[in-house]
Amino acid sequence: VITPTQQDDPLQALIRQMARLPGLGQRSARRIALYLLQHRTDVMQPLAAQLDMAASQIHACKSCGNLDTIDPCRICRDDKREQSVICVVASVADIWAIERTGQFRGVYHVLGGVLSALDGIGPDDLNIPGLLTRVRDQNAREVILALGATVDGQTTAHVISDQLTAKPGLKITRLAQGLPVGGELDYMDEGTIGLAFAARTSL
Amino acid sequence: VITPTQQDDPLQALIRQMARLPGLGQRSARRIALYLLQHRTDVMQPLAAQLDMAASQIHACKSCGNLDTIDPCRICRDDKREQSVICVVASVADIWAIERTGQFRGVYHVLGGVLSALDGIGPDDLNIPGLLTRVRDQNAREVILALGATVDGQTTAHVISDQLTAKPGLKITRLAQGLPVGGELDYMDEGTIGLAFAARTSL
């Protein structure tokens, strides 16, 4: 039972704020708050400082939407990367995931989501105009639509593809679909197995 | 692939710090960092301020070990609570759990853990001397050992019980063990069912 006095308590306020973060609930927020208070000077205060610093120093790149301390971001200003190959992703987390593979040497474009009737996200909520401008200005030769293999992701890919095809000589690709690495057949859904069959490659 | 420049990046530093919090890993830390940067003024900066405020204002109660802005804590100084009934818990989170039931009107004593050979936690690591002092000074009539129904929890209960029995007229109790509320028999382990049988009560 939380009395009115306790509700104004900085501890309860901290737990309430933490419980609103994605993936955390009341229980995990309480656990983290307790841990922080037990590691006040070595974890809690540095974290507060880090949050403040990140909030003031990190900004969205005006060109691609990536998060960085400089604008344009490190990827956009890297002249060893091919500015004519643009990989379209839904969110900055997808940039990080692709960068971890170390295989892509082009640039990115963050849409800020995918079209979703359920979540009320329409074409005007995504940075599609910015992509069209960049495709023209950077004289793009390939646009890779690296969107999730979901209905919403693939719908978004088709909508963008329709707007890009007007440009001659531009290659539009999307990520391959099939079995994930290490995927056992009997753990896969029928959709994935069906797709992998249809798109089978010769050995 | 993270280049040396990116490692010094406040974003990567923030993710690294967050991934060290209990219950969070790299993936959830990245997700939270991204969410925070998308909610800079309404979530991120208030959270930083809240962390700082909590770190400076919340302290452990010198009497019971509870966390509060005042010392002695609200529970210890509440004269509507029975100071002669002391509930011994492993951690502050257990106080919160018991307070949520709204059924206990005594006071608490936080040990700061339970005895654990595996984690190298011996009697000297727990606040047992403080408990013995309080039992004497507050003229305790009951000590409730509210420790987990684990081997370590019950070992700790027995060790404390042995040190307390010297005091005449002091009741030492522990929490009942049995089926949890809503517990279906076929989901319970044999240990719990066996205990519940042995400790069955007449209807």
Predicted pLDDT at B5: 47
ipTM of the complex: 0.75
Judging contacts by C-beta atoms under 8 Å, the chain B residues touching residue A13 are 50, 54
Supply angle C-alpha B59, B63, B65, rounded to 5.
Answer: 50
Predicted pLDDT at B133: 94
> Which of these, B75, B115, B109, lies nearest to B94 by C-alpha position?
B109
Q: Which are the contacts of B60, defined by CB distance < 8 A and separation ≥ 6? A: B66, B67, B71, B110
Judging contacts by C-beta atoms under 8 Å, the chain B residues touching residue A68 are 9, 11
Residues of chain A with pLDDT under 50: 1-6
Rounded to whole angstroms, how far apart are CA atoms B173 and B130?
19
> Which of these, B136, B132, B138, lies nearest to B106 by C-alpha position?
B138
Contact call for A54 and B33, based on CB within 8 A? yes
Contact call for A54 and B11, based on CB within 8 A? yes
For an interface test with B, which of A39, A50, A73, A104 has the most B Cβ atoms less than 10 Å from its Cβ?
A: A50
Predicted pLDDT at A1: 43
**Residues B172-177: what's their mean pLDDT?**
89
Query: Which amino acid is it at A183?
Result: G
Across chain B, mean pLDDT equals 89
Going by pLDDT thresholds of 50, 70 and 90, the confidence category of residue B171 is very high
Predicted pLDDT at A3: 46
3-class DSSP assignment, residue A92: helix
Rounded to whole angstroms, how far apart are CA atoms A105 and A82?
6
Query: Which amino acid is it at B70?
Result: I
Using CB atoms, which residue from A10, A23, A100 is nearest to B32?
A: A23
A139 torsion bin: left (phi>0), alpha (psi -120 to 50), beta (else): left
* Alpha-helix residue ranges (DSSP H) falling in B60-150: 92-101, 128-137
Task: With 0.80 as the threshold, say if the pTM is over it.
Answer: no
Q: What is the pLDDT of residues B116-125, one digit of tens each?
A: 999 999 999 9
Rounded to whole angstroms, how far apart are CA atoms B11 and B37?
9
Predicted pLDDT at A183: 80
Q: What is the pLDDT of residues B13-32, one digit of tens each?
A: 999 999 999 999 999 999 99
Distance in Å, alpha carbon of B20 to nearest chain A alpha carbon: 9
pLDDT: which is higher, B46 or A186 = B46
CA distances, A177 to each of A33, A96, A146, A191, A200 (Å)? 42, 20, 11, 10, 10
Contact call for B48 and A45, based on CB within 8 A? no
Q: Which are the contacts of B142, defined by CB distance < 8 A and separation ≥ 6? A: B84, B85, B86, B106, B170, B171, B172, B173
Judging contacts by C-beta atoms under 8 Å, the chain A residues touching residue B37 are 54-55, 58, 67
Q: Which two tokens stand for residue A188?
A: 């896969």
Give yes or no for a contact between A143 and A171, defined as CB atoms under 8 angstroms apart.
yes
Predicted pLDDT at B196: 82
Predicted pLDDT at B4: 43
Rounded to whole angstroms, how far apart are CA atoms A4 and B165?
39
Predicted pLDDT at A71: 93
CA distances, A83 to each of A46, A75, A76, A96, A202 (Å)? 38, 9, 8, 18, 33
Contact call for A34 and B93, based on CB within 8 A? yes
Instruction: Evaluate if residue B202 carries a pLDDT over 80.
Output: no
**Residues B96-110: what's their mean pLDDT?**
92
B112 torsion bin: left (phi>0), alpha (psi -120 to 50), beta (else): left
* DSSP annotation of B180: P
Distance in Å, alpha carbon of A135 to nearest chain B alpha carbon: 26
Q: In what order do the strands lie in the sheet with B142-145?
A: B106-110, B82-89, B142-145, B171-174
**Residues B79-107: what's their mean pLDDT?**
93
